[in-house]
Amino acid sequence: MKPCWLALVTAAALGGGCVPSNFVVAPPATATDPSPAKAASARPAYSPPVTAGQITAANAREKAEALRAEIDTDMVAALEANGQKD
């Protein structure tokens, strides 16, 4: 029984640094955080995704620009979401 408790205490002591602090305790809310309503209004209007079946020789440049805009929008959203975690 004693080795079992010793193993449990050792695992707790060594594993304490592996738990992220925001998982255990929620970060305090700050006054500078934008409300979800403001953040949603700041996003550009939804446009349907570009698919391969939509691209023809006549509209290739237009679809390439739409695809670049879609990728940029997704990248900005991903960076904002990643920044909120820190």
Read off the pLDDT of residues 39-60 as tens digits, 9 standing for 90 and up.
Answer: 555 666 677 888 889 899 999 9
Question: Which residues, 6+ apart, have CB-to-CB distance to 77 below 8 Å?
Answer: 43
Closest to 84 in 3D by CA, of 18, 33, 35? 33
Question: Which residues, 6+ apart, have CB-to-CB distance to 34 below 8 Å?
Answer: 42
pLDDT of residue 49: 84
Per-residue pLDDT tens digits of the chain, which is 86 residues long:
777 888 888 877 766 666 555 566 666 666 665 566 555 556 666 778 888 898 999 999 999 999 998 898 888 888 888 876 55
Q: In one letter, which amino acid is 67?
A: L
Between CA 1 and CA 59 the distance in angstroms is 74
Residues in the chain: 86
Q: What is the pTM of this model?
A: 0.43
pLDDT of residue 38: 58
